[in-house]
Structure 1
Amino acid sequence: MAQLIQNARSMEVFTNFLEITTLPTATYHQYESVIKPLGDNPGVQTKGRNYQIIARLQQDNAALFGPRPLYDGGSLLYSLQHLQGTNTIDVCMRRRSNQPTHQVSFRRVATIDLRVLRSLLARRNPNERPDPNAMPINLLQLMVCQAPNLRYGFLAHARRFAVQRGAQDIGAGLSMWRAFFQSVRPALGRMLINVDRSSVPVYTPGPLIDVMVPFLGLRDQRELANLPRDKFAKLRVFLKGVLVRVRHRPEARAKPIADLVPQAGLEEFDKDGERWTVQRHFQSRWNRTVQHPEYVGVRIGQTSIVPAEFCIVEPAQVYKRRLPADVQRKFIELAAQDPRRRRRDIEEAISGGLFNYTNSDYIQDAGMTVNQNLLSVTGQVIPPPGIVYRNRTEPMTGRPGAWNLLNNRFFSVSAPLNSWAVVVFESEHRANRNRVNTFVHELGGNLTRLAPVVQNRAPHVEYGNPHNPAQTLENVGRALVGQYGGNRPQLILVVLPANAAAIKQAVKLWGDTVRMTPTQCVRCGKWDAVSGNKADQYRNNLALKINARLGGVNSIIRSPVSPIFERSMVVGADVGHPGPGVSSIPSMTGLVASVSPDVSEFTSFAQVQRPRVEIIQDLEQMIYLSLGDYAGYREARGLQGRFPEHLIFFRDGVSEGEFATVAREEIAMIRHAFVRHGMTDPRSQPKLLFVVVGKRHHVRFFPKRPEDADNSKNCPAGFLVHDQITNPNLHDFYLQSHAGILGTSRPGHYIVLSNEADFSKNEIYQMAYHLCHIYASATRSVSIPAPVYYADKICQRLSSHCSLMSASDTSSVNSGDTPFDLDEWKNNFKQSGLNKRKYFL
Structure 2
Amino acid sequence: MPPRPGFGTQGRKVMLWANSFPLVFQGLPAVHRYSVEVLAAEERGRVPTGKKLSRVVQLLLEEHFPGQTHEIASDFKSNLISRTELDLAEEGYLIPYRGDHDEEAAPGAPTYRVRVQETGTLSVSDLVNYLTSTGAGALLHNKEELLQCLNIILGHFPKAAPGIASIGPRKHFQIATATRMSLGAGLEALQGFFFSVRAATARIIVNVQVKNAAFFEEGPLDRLMRAYLGENGPNKVRLGQFVKGLSVNPTHIVKKNKKGQVVPRVKKVAGLATPNDGQGDPHPPKVRGFGAGPRDVLFFRGGASEAPASQPSTGKKKGKKPAKAGPDPPSTEGYISVYDFFQETYNITIQDPALPVINVGSRQRPSYLPAQICDVLAGQPSVAKLSPSQTQQMIRFAVRKPPQNAQSIVTSGLQTLGVGSPDSNLGPFGLELIPKLTTVVGRVLNCPDVRYGGNKSIRPKFGSWNMQSIQFSAKAELPYWSYLWLSYPTRRDPWRDDQALQPTIDAFTAVLRETGINAGNCIRGQHVTVQDVDQDLEHAIRAFTSHAKPPKFILVILPAVDTALYNRVKYLCDVQEGLLNVCAVANKFAKPNNAQYFANVALKVNLKLGGRNQLVDPSKLGVVGERKTMVVGIDVTHPSPGSSSEAPSVAGVVASIDHTLAQWPADLRVQPARQEMVADLGPMLQSRLRLWSQHNGSYPQNVLVYRDGVSEGQYDIVLEKELPALRTACRELYPAHLTKQGYPRMTIVVVGKRHHHRFYPTKAEDADRSTNPQNGTVVDRGVTEARNWDFFLQAHTALQGTARPAHYYIVYDEIFRVQKVQQPLQNAADALEDLTHNMCYLFGRATKAVSICPPAYYADLVCERARCYLSKLFDPSSVPGSEPSVSGERRGGGPGAELNRVSIHDRVRDAMFYI
Q: How does the TM-score come out when normalised to structure 1?
A: 0.90
Segments of 5+ residues of structure 2 without an aligned counterpart are 255-262, 274-290, 303-332, 820-827
Q: Give me the whole-angstrom Cα distance separating, in 2, the residues matched to 1:73 and 1:169.
A: 31
Does the CA contact (< 8 Å) of 1:70 and 1:142 recur in 2?
yes
- Which residue in 2 is equivalent to 1:554? 613
Paired AA for residue 298 in structure 1: I
Q: Which moved more, 1:265-274 or 1:448-457?
A: 265-274
Residue 602 of structure 1 aligns to a residue whose secondary structure is coil
Does the CA contact (< 8 Å) of 1:386 and 1:559 recur in 2?
no
Give deviations 1:524-559, integer Å, cap 9, x for gaps. Answer: 212456x65xx3222211111111112211112225
Aligned pairs (5 A) from 1:231-630 = 231-249=235-253, 251-261=263-273, 262-263=291-292, 265-266=294-295, 267-272=297-302, 274-282=334-342, 288-302=348-362, 303-350=366-413, 353-359=415-421, 360-392=423-455, 395-426=457-488, 429-433=492-496, 436-456=501-521, 459-460=524-525, 462-468=527-533, 471=536, 474-475=539-540, 478=543, 482=547, 486=549, 488-527=550-589, 535-565=594-624, 566-580=627-641, 582=643, 583-630=645-692
Q: Give me the whole-angstrom Cα distance separating, in 2, the residues matched to 1:815 and 1:363.
A: 44
Paired AA for residue 839 in structure 2: L
Matched, 1:734 2:767: no
Give deviations 1:706-757, integer Å, cap 9, x for gaps. Answer: 2222222211211000111113432111000111101111000010000111
Paired AA for residue 451 in structure 1: G
Does the CA contact (< 8 Å) of 1:469 and 1:507 recur in 2?
no
Does the CA contact (< 8 Å) of 1:559 and 1:770 recur in 2?
no
- Which residue in 2 is equivalent to 1:638? none
Does the CA contact (< 8 Å) of 1:592 and 1:605 recur in 2?
yes
Residue 526 of structure 1 aligns to a residue whose secondary structure is helix
Give deviations 1:104-149, integer Å, cap 9, x for gaps. Answer: 2322222223322313424686666661552221121122122134
Give deviations 1:316-346, integer Å, cap 9, x for gaps. Answer: 2222232111111121122201112222222
Does the CA contact (< 8 Å) of 2:18 and 2:440 recur in 1?
yes
Which of these residues, 183, 191, 211, is aligned with residue 224 of structure 2? 211
Distance 1:666 1:249, change over 3 A: farther
Distance 1:378 1:337, change over 3 A: same
Residue 795 of structure 1 aligns to a residue whose secondary structure is helix
Q: Give me the whole-angstrom Cα distance separating, in 1, the residues matched to 2:353 and 2:43.
A: 30
Which of these residues, 741, 764, 779, is aligned with residue 721 of structure 1? 779
Does the CA contact (< 8 Å) of 1:614 and 1:654 recur in 2?
yes
Which of these residues, 711, 719, 726, is aligned with residue 670 of structure 1? 726
Q: Give me the whole-angstrom Cα distance separating, in 2, the residues matched to 1:45 and 1:479.
A: 59
Does the CA contact (< 8 Å) of 2:165 and 2:174 recur in 1?
no
Q: Which moved more, 1:162-171 or 1:360-369?
A: 162-171
Does the CA contact (< 8 Å) of 1:379 and 1:722 recur in 2?
yes
Matched, 1:81 2:50: no
Q: Give me the whole-angstrom Cα distance separating, in 2, the residues matched to 1:557 and 1:236.
A: 55
Paired AA for residue 259 in structure 1: G
Give deviations 1:684-704, integer Å, cap 9, x for gaps. Answer: 421111000000011111112
Q: Give me the whole-angstrom Cα distance separating, in 2, the residues matched to 1:29 and 1:631.
A: 58
- Which residue in 2 is equivalent to 1:29? 32
Q: How does the TM-score come out when normalised to structure 2?
A: 0.83
CA RMSD of aligned residues (A): 3.0
Q: Give me the whole-angstrom Cα distance separating, in 2, the residues matched to 1:300 and 1:194.
A: 40
Distance 1:155 1:339, change over 3 A: closer
Matched, 1:72 2:75: yes
Q: Give me the whole-angstrom Cα distance separating, in 2, the residues matched to 1:810 and 1:726.
A: 43
Q: Which moved more, 1:355-364 or 1:404-413?
A: 355-364
Paired AA for residue 431 in structure 2: M
Give deviations 1:583-613, integer Å, cap 9, x for gaps. Answer: 3211111110001121112221001111110
Report percent identity of matched pairs: 24
Q: Give me the whole-angstrom Cα distance separating, in 1, the residues matched to 2:652 and 2:446.
A: 30
- Which residue in 2 is equivalent to 1:148? 158
Q: Give me the whole-angstrom Cα distance separating, in 1, the residues matched to 2:756 and 2:27.
A: 24
Does the CA contact (< 8 Å) of 2:646 and 2:873 recur in 1?
no
- Residue 29 of structure 1 and its aligned partner are, at CA, apart by 2.5
* Residue correspondences, number: 817
Distance 1:354 1:5, change over 3 A: closer
Q: Give me the whole-angstrom Cα distance separating, in 2, the residues matched to 1:574 and 1:53.
A: 40
Paired AA for residue 717 in structure 2: T
Paired AA for residue 202 in structure 1: F
Q: Give me the whole-angstrom Cα distance separating, in 1, the residues matched to 2:68 and 2:411.
A: 34
Does the CA contact (< 8 Å) of 1:32 and 1:109 recur in 2?
yes
Q: Give me the whole-angstrom Cα distance separating, in 1, the residues matched to 2:768 and 2:605.
A: 31
Matched, 1:163 2:174: yes
Paired AA for residue 840 in structure 1: Y
Q: Give me the whole-angstrom Cα distance separating, in 1, the residues matched to 2:61 and 2:153.
A: 17
Q: Give me the whole-angstrom Cα distance separating, in 1, the residues matched to 2:8 and 2:127.
A: 34
Paired AA for residue 719 in structure 2: A
Give deviations 1:52-73, integer Å, cap 9, x for gaps. Answer: 2232332233456453522222
- Which residue in 2 is equivalent to 1:778? 846
- Which residue in 2 is equivalent to 1:835? 909
Give deviations 1:565-593, integer Å, cap 9, x for gaps. Answer: 12100000100011137432111111100
Give deviations 1:436-491, integer Å, cap 9, x for gaps. Answer: 43332222221111115222056445244352466456546646874xx64x3122
Residue 216 of structure 1 aligns to a residue whose secondary structure is helix
Q: Give me the whole-angstrom Cα distance separating, in 1, the residues matched to 2:731 and 2:782.
A: 41
- Residue 822 of structure 1 and its aligned partner are, at CA, apart by 5.0
Q: Give me the whole-angstrom Cα distance separating, in 1, the residues matched to 2:172 and 2:871.
A: 40
Residue 404 of structure 1 aligns to a residue whose secondary structure is coil
Q: Which moved more, 1:401-410 or 1:816-825?
A: 816-825
Q: Which moved more, 1:612-621 or 1:39-48?
A: 39-48
- Which residue in 1 is equivalent to 2:763? 705
Matched, 1:8 2:11: yes
Segments of 5+ residues of structure 1 without an aligned counterpart are 636-641
Give deviations 1:51-101, integer Å, cap 9, x for gaps. Answer: 322323322334564535222222222223333252422334443656784
Distance 1:424 1:154, change over 3 A: same
Distance 1:517 1:474, change over 3 A: farther
Aligned pairs (5 A) from 1:651-666 = 651-666=707-722
Residue 519 of structure 2 aligns to a residue whose secondary structure is coil
Matched, 1:632 2:694: yes
